[in-house]
Copies of this chain bind each other. A is one copy, B any other.
Amino acid sequence: MALIVHKYGGTSMGSTERIRNVAKRVAKWARAGHQMVVVPSAMSGETNRLLALAKELAPSTQTTAYARELDMIAATGEQVSVGLLSIALQAEGLQAVSYTGWQVPIKTDSAYTKARIQSIDDARVRADLDAGKIVIITGFQGIDDDGNITTLGRGGSDTSAVAVAAAMKADECLIYTDVDGVYTTDPRIVPEARRLRTISFEEMLEMASLGSKVLQIRSVEFAGKYRVPLRVLSSFTPWDIPIEEEARSGTLITFEEDENMEQAVVSGIAFNRDEAKITVIGVPDRPGIAYQILGAVADANIDVDVILQNVSHEGKTDFSFTVHRNDYEKTMDLLNSKVVPALGAEKVIGDTKICKVSIVGIGMRSHAGVAATMFRALSEEGINIKMITTSEIKTSVVIDEKYMELAVRALHKAFGLDQESAA
């Protein structure tokens, strides 16, 4: 007997028919003798519907004033889900009980709409499990010290599930989603993309931060901090496939690096086209210019991703960075109106038609020449690299957006990710 946490996304909970299937799947695990905790998301579309109502009443773009009330409203989506799933499980003949975040309680800080979990009291849940009940807990939400409802931000139910698994010291946390695991890259772009049977926690963290949408990044951070065995698998397999088969499906996020003797050098290719590149040309090269430029950007609440400063020529340098495309106009305005005049720089140029492509793999730590292989593969396709940035287990390049698919396919092949042995 093991203690297992299941998490189901909004699509899996999207209709009563689908909720019935979730109940049958959970019932299968319970009947196999496992203690079950289930964390479902809101029914698909529900959170958007609720926030759209709120937006109609608060047309101001400044939503922080209403943040407490937004959480009050948005938290109801998951509350409905847990009640419905509990009824579906009882209709299957099992004992089940649902709890909201505040009932557990899941304590968070007071940062409405993006709260962080601080502690989980598992006493009530454990008592129910010991009494033979399946426990269903709302994802996405908690309660702060003053008894206000808080939410964890979009995708927060992943984090809730991992946090509950950590608090309960669960044997495994299974994230059921609409893909059947973590792939070497997006199969819609590279048909040869393969599902990874395992991926290291660090690689998963890079993949999540680089644009892979399989898991919310904070849930991966949480899993790493508490070493929660985490598996991503499909909720679209028939609910009645043998439990042994299901328990081995999907992708397991691991913490033991030597678990796979034949660790691939590169595990996956991530990409996104959410960014825009901005270059300040002809900046006088003196100490503090990075701070003068990026400090002003940060003060405007704009996140910067890749940052690059070229060597200087004749006392002048060019300073480039990327921001989210939504922040592009705002950043350009800020630089042109304030930063460039103050710095005495020449001008600002921007490019919104870029993308970022990254290779990720813990094998890069011990293998030389990985970046060189990447650059050669891109070069052979005639793709010009605009920016490069590296970390211990990833290398990212910024290129023309139009080459994105070509680059991903070339890199996928160059690192042999279509070969079964790479897993």
Task: List the interface of chain A (C-beta within 8 A of B).
Answer: 16, 19-20, 23, 50, 53-54, 56-60, 65-66, 68-70, 72-73, 75-76, 79-80, 82-84, 86-88, 90-91, 97-98, 100, 102-103, 147-149
The answer to whether A87 touches B69 (Cβ under 8 A) is: yes
Q: With A54-B83, A66-B87, A69-B86 given, can you name 4 additional A-B contacts, CB distance below 8 Å?
A: A16-B53, A16-B56, A73-B84, A76-B79
The answer to whether B76 touches A58 (Cβ under 8 A) is: no
Subset of 7 A-B contacts with CB under 8 Å: A16-B56, A54-B87, A58-B88, A66-B86, A69-B90, A72-B79, A73-B83
- Tell me the complex Cα distance, A50–B46, Å: 12
What 8 pairs between A and B have smallest CB-CB spacing?
A76-B76, A73-B83, A72-B83, A16-B56, A69-B83, A57-B88, A69-B86, A57-B87
For residue A97, which residues in chain B have a CB less than 8 angstroms away from its CB? 68
For residue A20, which residues in chain B have a CB less than 8 angstroms away from its CB? 57
- The A interface, classified by DSSP as helix, strand, loop or mixed, is helix
- Tell me the complex Cα distance, A16–B59, Å: 12
Closest B residue to A50 by beta carbon equals: B80
- Tell me the complex Cα distance, A136–B264, Å: 58
Given the interface contacts A79-B76, A98-B69, does A54 sit within 8 Å of B84 by beta carbon? yes
The answer to whether A91 touches B60 (Cβ under 8 A) is: yes
For residue A65, which residues in chain B have a CB less than 8 angstroms away from its CB? 90
For residue A79, which residues in chain B have a CB less than 8 angstroms away from its CB? 72-73, 75-76, 79
Given the interface contacts A16-B53, A57-B20, A80-B53, does A72 sit within 8 Å of B90 by beta carbon? no
Q: For the complex formed, measure the closest distance between the CB of A190 and the CB atoms of chain B, giving whole angstroms.
A: 40
Q: How often does this chain occur in the complex, in copies?
A: 2
For residue A87, which residues in chain B have a CB less than 8 angstroms away from its CB? 54, 57-58, 66, 69-70
Q: In the complex, which of the residues B76, B83, B88, B103 contacts A147, with contact meaning CB atoms closer than 8 Å? A: B103
For residue A16, which residues in chain B have a CB less than 8 angstroms away from its CB? 53, 56-57
- Tell me the complex Cα distance, A83–B68, Å: 8
For residue A76, which residues in chain B have a CB less than 8 angstroms away from its CB? 76, 79-80
Most buried by B among A16, A72, A86: A72
For residue A70, which residues in chain B have a CB less than 8 angstroms away from its CB? 83, 87
- Tell me the complex Cα distance, A283–B66, Å: 68
Q: For the complex formed, measure the closest distance between the CB of A102 and the CB atoms of chain B, giving whole angstroms.
A: 7
For residue A102, which residues in chain B have a CB less than 8 angstroms away from its CB? 102
Q: In the complex, which of the residues B57, B103, B149 contacts A84, with contact meaning CB atoms closer than 8 Å? A: B57
- Tell me the complex Cα distance, A88–B60, Å: 11
Given the interface contacts A69-B98, A72-B82, A72-B98, does A91 sit within 8 Å of B147 by beta carbon? no
Closest B residue to A63 by beta carbon equals: B87
Closest B residue to A16 by beta carbon equals: B56
- Tell me the complex Cα distance, A224–B147, Å: 33
For residue A98, which residues in chain B have a CB less than 8 angstroms away from its CB? 69, 72
- Tell me the complex Cα distance, A149–B20, Å: 23
The answer to whether B19 touches A57 (Cβ under 8 A) is: yes
Closest B residue to A92 by beta carbon equals: B57
- Tell me the complex Cα distance, A19–B53, Å: 10
Q: For the complex formed, measure the closest distance between the CB of A372 and the CB atoms of chain B, giving whole angstroms.
A: 55
Closest B residue to A60 by beta carbon equals: B91
For residue A50, which residues in chain B have a CB less than 8 angstroms away from its CB? 80
Most buried by B among A50, A76, A91, A103: A76
Q: In the complex, which of the residues B56, B80, B91, B149 contacts A73, with contact meaning CB atoms closer than 8 Å? A: B80
- Tell me the complex Cα distance, A87–B102, Å: 22
Closest B residue to A66 by beta carbon equals: B87
